Amino acid sequence: MRSDDMRVMQTMNRECLNNILICGEKHLNYRVRDYVRYYNDNRAHSSRDFLPPSSAEPPTANETIVFDEIVRHERLGGLIK
């Protein structure tokens, strides 16, 4: 296995699977799919200047932050917020 593959597996184990009791293959597949979607669409990656893999360029900069417009999404049953 390549080192990149091993690092992804270690990250998945550390951030996802070590904190959840898995109750069968179907549950494992659901959790892994959910984590992979989070990993590719939302999680910041230091090797990409803290952009997720699905982003081509950084988001536009905001001058002001309106706290009422901030939305938090839970992933993996609230394990990641």
Look at residue 26 in the predicted model and tell me its pLDDT: 92
3-37 core/surface letters (b: 16 or more CB in 10 A; e: else): eeeeeeeeebeebbbeeeeeeeeeeeeebeebbee
Mean pLDDT of the residues in the chain: 78
Q: How far is CA 3 from the centre of its chain?
A: 19
- Residues 34-68: tens digit of each pLDDT: 888 887 777 766 666 667 677 777 667 777 778 88
Model pTM score: 0.56
% of the chain beyond a pLDDT of 70: 77
Domain ranges of the chain: 3-78
Mean pLDDT of 5-33: 85
